[in-house]
Amino acid sequence: MSALQDSRITEQHNAIEHMISDIEALGDRAVDRARVSKMLSVFMKLAGSYFDNEEKVMMTKGYRPLPSHRSDHRRIIETLELIIQVCCDDSLPISNDIGGRIRELMDEHIKTYDKSMMSYLDKIG
């Protein structure tokens, strides 16, 4: 991975972590649906960009499990879209642990997909 790719992915990862923390902090107070929906939309765009960059690196480096990794990226984006729909629908209850659910999604992805990808990238240099 080039230094530019590595720094871009690291910056995006740090921004994602910060945004998840901001969303988690919302669970401690009354939920403003519009604010949560906006934050989740921004998060989804950031995650989508991060996933795209990560997929480009995997493709360039010949990472064979790319299709399943990409599929999980899509699953995460689809889950975020559903959460946003719930936030926008006043007739549906909204969880006060949206941030926790998003963190679980991302942690599960990291454990299941990213660790093996990083191991592969470390091996090939």
Give the residue with greater pLDDT, 125 vs 103. Answer: 103
Tokens at 36, concatenated: 């949560």
Single-letter residue type at 90: D
Reported confidence tier of residue 74, pLDDT bands at 50, 70, 90 = very high
SS3 27: coil
Number of domains in the chain: 1
Distances (CA, A) of 124 to 1, 52, 60, 79, 94: 10, 21, 12, 33, 45
Tokens at 109, concatenated: 């992805």
Reported confidence tier of residue 44, pLDDT bands at 50, 70, 90 = very high
pLDDT, residue 112, reads 93
CATH number for the domain spanning 89: value is 1.20.120.50
Q: What domain range is 35 assigned to? A: 3-124
pLDDT, residue 1, reads 47
For residue range 48-71, what is the model confidence (pLDDT) as tens digits?
Answer: 999 999 999 999 999 999 999 999
Residue 100 reports pLDDT greater than 90: no
